[in-house]
């Protein structure tokens, strides 16, 4: 299969390597010509996943990538530009989205922005640097077209990257977006030194929020016990290198959200998604106290006040 991976960040770079290692012809496309030139010359990404060996992977700017000749377009760009990028894609090849978030402009799931072509989404506990190092991982591919999901499963599945399929696109996408917001809160718990009991309780209630939201939106309950739900939430909230967890930790220690993202040096999707998720929940009439609290902290409310507020909520059934 011929594939173009749009977005040469950590995850796009790692996924290009997965495809290459499965025998596919891969082009890694980036916006910046200087980054493309460096990848072509050194077979390394100068900015992200620097340890990844890009031998046999083509490098091109997005404007020059061979979209008309490809069988698959993989999109791994920040949620804030996802709609712009997919709207400008030439050709008609299916799109596989790796982006975890919601469209900030409309609040819509990202797959709904893909027009007039087949689309699937991939999610799961996929820390890019571990995948580059060849450590085992798993993911789920979801699509309304189950035949497409199975075709992509066979193209990506390997002995180090196990792939499952389902048709719950709504559940997979909403889990992928919401878990980043919960990870900001989990990082805040780390930054305040609240302990493992408090953090585990926070993450468990965060999973309940994710399930509450997505079920109202038409998702399946079992998605939340799977890789896109519990699996991705766990790794995002505990991995030391997780961007959202680390951003929450820095914010708890007094760093502004803008400075936290600058220190991390990569996009922190939870910072973009939190207000979009809050607004979506309000439109659906769903109560998401952790997500609401994260937004309040991002607007300047002290994190200690949020913790006290959550602990003072009325007792209820689980």
So which residues are the catalytic ones? 179
Q: From residue 162, how far is each of 14, 18, 19, 154 by CA, in Å?
A: 15, 11, 13, 10
Cα separation, 122 vs 103, in Å, equals 17
Cα separation, 118 vs 92, in Å, equals 8
Q: Assess contact for 172 and 142: CB atoms under 8 A.
A: yes
Question: Which helix H or strand E contains 97, and what residues bound it?
Answer: strand 95-97
Q: Which residues contact 64 (CB under 8 A, 6 or more apart)?
A: none
Give strand ranges (E) for 111-160: 119-123, 137-142
Q: Using CB atoms within 10 A of its CB, is residue 254 exposed (0-12), middle (13-18) or buried (19+)?
A: exposed
Q: Assess contact for 182 and 234: CB atoms under 8 A.
A: no
DSSP string across 212-267 = HHHHHTT--GGGGGSIIIIIHHHHHHH-TT-HHHHHHHHHHTT--HHHHHHHHTS-
Cα separation, 205 vs 316, in Å, equals 12
Q: Measured over all CA atoms, what is the biggest interatomic distance in the chain, rounded to whole angstroms? A: 61
Q: Assess contact for 288 and 278: CB atoms under 8 A.
A: yes
SS3 for 216? helix
């Amino acid at each position: 299969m011929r594939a173009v991976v749009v977005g040469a960040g950590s995850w796009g770079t790692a996924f290009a390597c997965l495809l290459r290692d499965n025998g596919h012809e891969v082009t890694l496309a980036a916006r910046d010509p200087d980054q493309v030139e460096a990848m072509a010359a050194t077979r390394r990404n100068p900015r992200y996943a620097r340890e990844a060996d890009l031998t046999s992977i083509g490098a091109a700017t997005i404007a020059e990538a061979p979209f008309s000749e490809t069988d698959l377009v993989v999109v791994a760009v920040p949620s804030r530009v996802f709609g712009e990028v997919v709207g400008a894609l030439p050709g008609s090849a299916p799109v596989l989205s790796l982006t975890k978030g919601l469209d900030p402009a409309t609040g819509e799931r990202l797959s709904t922005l893909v027009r007039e072509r087949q689309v699937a989404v991939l999610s799961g506990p996929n820390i890019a640097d571990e995948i580059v190092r060849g450590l085992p991982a798993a993911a789920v591919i979801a699509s309304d077209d189950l035949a497409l999901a199975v075709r992509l499963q066979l193209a990506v599945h390997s002995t180090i990257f196990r792939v499952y399929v389902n048709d719950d696109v709504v559940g997979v996408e909403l889990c992928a977006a919401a878990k980043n917001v919960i990870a900001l809160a989990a990082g805040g718990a780390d930054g305040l030194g609240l302990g493992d009991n408090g953090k585990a309780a926070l993450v468990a209630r965060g999973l309940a929020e994710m399930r509450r939201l997505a079920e109202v939106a038409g998702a399946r309950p079992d998605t939340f016990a799977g890789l896109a739900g519990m699996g991705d939430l766990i790794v995002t909230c505990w991995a030391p290198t997780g961007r959202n967890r680390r951003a929450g930790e820095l914010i708890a220690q007094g760093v502004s959200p803008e400075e936290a993202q600058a220190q991390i040096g990569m996009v922190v999707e939870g910072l973009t998604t939190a207000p979009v998720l809050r607004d979506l929940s309000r439109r659906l009439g769903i109560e998401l106290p952790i997500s609401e609290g994260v937004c309040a902290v991002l607007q300047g409310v002290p994190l200690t006040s949020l913790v006290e507020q959550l602990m003072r909520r009325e007792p209820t059934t689980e």
